[in-house]
Amino acid sequence: MESREKTATNQRELLKMDEVQACLGISKAYAYKLIKEKKIPSLRLGERGAIRVRGVDLDAFLEAKVGR
């Protein structure tokens, strides 16, 4: 059986903006800027267009920045 590494961000599939902000230690405005510039992939859900970020996408962003 394959072992799957779990990180803080991919334990939950879709993250809210305040969770993204907290994981990165940045302001909410800067988190929105990174999403607008497509540096972090995101999804829009429902009629109101709630923004969510997949945990694996946030992990990939962090790996690219930190170079694990």
Domain regions of the chain by residue span: 14-66
pLDDT digits (tens, 9 = 90+) for 56-67: 999 999 999 887
Residues forming a β-bridge with 53: 15
User: In this structure, what are the phi and psi dihedrals at residue 34, rounded to the nearest 5 degrees?
Assistant: -60, -35
In the CATH hierarchy, which top-level class contains the domain 14-66? Answer: mainly alpha
C-alpha–C-alpha distance, residues 46 and 58, integer Å: 21
Q: What is the pTM of this model?
A: 0.77
Distance CA 49, CA 11 (A): 23
pLDDT for residue 9 is more than 60: no
In the chain, what's the furthest Cα-to-Cα distance? 42
Residues 12-44: tens digit of each pLDDT: 689 999 999 999 999 999 999 999 999 999 999
